[in-house]
Structure 1
Amino acid sequence: MAAVKVATILSLGALLPTATFPCGTLRSDNTTASKLLGTWLYVAGAAQFPQHLLEMLLIDHGHLHVEPHTGEQELLVTQRVAVGDQCLANNSTYFKITVGNTTLVKHAKTHQTVGMLMNLSSEDTLLIQYQLQRERMYLGLYLYARNLSLSTAHQEEFEHHVKCLGLSGEEIVYAPWKTELCQVEEIEKGKSPRAEPAAAVTASPALGTHQPGSMEN
């Protein structure tokens, strides 16, 4: 049941209007695709929708693997998250790189845009912004990094983006990384422990319990 709830996180809506720096989108260029390739580790997330905050609490850790898809303008995104005793996988999205920005698009006939890359000061961090449209607008912001040794400056930068989007510190959760259900090696080799139709992009425990880099076993 928990896995089903987590899967709803990717049922997100249209592209959020571009904000101005420092909350603006990543300005894409001819080096963007090569910089995105490889594995990213989930660090933290913030969500405005209460249900999404509860769902993030169910997830221990997550990875995101980016590889070439159909040319330099599209990169396939494979996501894995650990929920309870399961490692859930999803490859139903891809990055679309255009002049000026990079968006996350669902594999569907509508090619629905579900998020965008936001501007950060380091090439070793990845910030994805989502938007959910229901009776009103709900925002989500999720941080990935090449490793879990995130500096204080990068953490503060993420928190600044959260506030810049109108979210609060109480809406931020960090991934605890207590288990090793979803192996990075399995992602890079294309193995999937358990495939699900729409596994979440996010991961996190209770707010303030663990900080980036605290990998407890």
Structure 2
Amino acid sequence: MAAAGVAAVLSLVVLLPATAFPCGALHPQHPDNTTASKLLGTWLYVAGAAQFPQHLLEMLLIDHGHLHVEPRSSEQELLISQHVAVGDECLTNNSTYFDITTSNTTQVKHAKTHQTVGTLMNLSSEDVLLIQYQLQRERTYLGLYLYARNLRVSTAHREEFEHQAKCLGLSEEEIVYAPWKTELCQVKEMKKGNYPCTEPTAAVTASPPPGTHQPGNTGN
């Protein structure tokens, strides 16, 4: 049941297009002719922040995870393979892709419906990835996910992520760092710009990246 719930978190098929954001300091990333090459490869899941109670619970169940981004048929579309370790399973989800041209922003879209489920946001480094999601239920729930090229995420980048989460109205209690206690979803060593290969395991669906916080820590 936990694994199925986590899969639902990252599928998020009933999300609103990310257009207006409640925080003026947080802006969508505008693509250029280098965006696609910068996104390719493997991104490790560091942390997530979510308002929806079920998503927050599911993030607490994730030990580690990563995204693998590779070209699709179109140069403007990049396939996202999400991998996440929950319990003793490594789950995989290939249901989303990056669209780097729509509305002059870089968006995350559902592969079958082409519905916008998230938006790539600006951060101060090309080695970190910040994605904002919006889920519409009885009200609009926001989510923010941080990925990085490696686990050595600087204190400055963690603080920047936490600041952006709080700027969106997400509380400290709604921020969860992935502990990375196990190695179910293995990622081969990679260099920036290369295609890091994931060693096949079961399946992966979550996208929590590894942070430098101690296992089980949330917030600061």
Compared CA separation, residues 52 and 103, structure 1 to 2 (3 A): same
Which residue is equivalent to 1:174? 177
- Cα RMSD, aligned residues only: 2.5
Which residue is equivalent to 2:7? 7
- Cα deviation, 1:150-192, whole Å, max 9, x if unaligned, reads 1111111101110111111111000000000001139944654
Q: CA deviation at 1:107?
A: 1.2
Q: 1:200 aligns with which of 189, 193, 206?
A: 206
Unpaired segments ≥5 residues, structure 2: 190-194
TM-score by length of 2: 0.87
Which residue is equivalent to 2:50? 47
Identity %: 65
Residue 184 of structure 1 aligns to a residue whose secondary structure is coil
TM-score by length of 1: 0.88
- Cα deviation, 1:82-117, whole Å, max 9, x if unaligned, reads 010010011111100116210001111x31111010
Q: 2:106 aligns with which of 98, 102, 114?
A: 102
Is residue 83 from structure 1 mapped to residue 74 from structure 2 by the alignment?
Answer: no
Compared CA separation, residues 211 and 184, structure 1 to 2 (3 A): farther
CA contact (8 A) 2:178 2:216 kept: no
Count of residue correspondences: 209
CA contact (8 A) 2:176 2:218 kept: no
Residue 155 of structure 1 aligns to a residue whose secondary structure is helix
| Displacement over 4 Å in runs of 4+ | 203-208
- Cα deviation, 1:12-66, whole Å, max 9, x if unaligned, reads 4121224475301012111111100110000000000111111111110001011
Aligned counterparts, 1:5-154, within 5 A: 5-9=5-9, 10-12=11-13, 13-19=15-21, 22-98=25-101, 100-108=104-112, 110-154=113-157
